[in-house]
Amino acid sequence: MYVALKLGLTRLTCVYNVHLVKKNKEKFIMKESSKKENLDQLDKKIEEFKSKKEENRPKRLKVQNDGWRMVIELVTGMVLGVSLGMALDYIVGSEPIFLIVFSLLGFMAGVKTMIATAKKMNETNN
C-alpha cells in the first residue's frame, strides 16, 4: 500500500511538472538574438574582470620574487664553488687552496649571473 501511494505521488508530481513546463514554455525557450546578447554581455564581463585583475596585481610581490631569485643565484654559485673546492681538496689531499680558489670563482659566477638577470629584468620592465 505504501509503495502504491508513493508511486501515485511521484506520478502526480511528474504530471504537474509537465503541466508547468507546457504552461510556461515561452519562458524556457531562448531566442537566437537573446543568446547572442547574453554571450556578448558575458564576454564584456570576462574582459572587465581580466583587466581589473591585471590592474590590481600587487607589484611589490614581483619585486620580492625578483630579489629572492637574485639572492638564490648568488648563493647557488657560492655553494657550488665551495663544494667543488672541498671535493678537490679531499681528492688531492692538499690544504684548503682549492677551497679558497673555487669559493672566489663561485662568488664571481654568482655575481655575474645576478648582473645578467638584473639586466634582463630591466629590459622586460622598460
Does this model's pTM top 0.75? My answer is: no
> Cα dihedral sign for 107, 109, 110, 112?
positive
Mean pLDDT of the chain: 78
Cell of 110: 654568482
- pLDDT surpassing 60 at residue 81: yes
Predicted local confidence at residue 42, as pLDDT: 84
Cα distance between residue 81 and residue 13, in whole Å: 79
pLDDT band at 111 (very low <50, low <70, confident <90, very high): very high
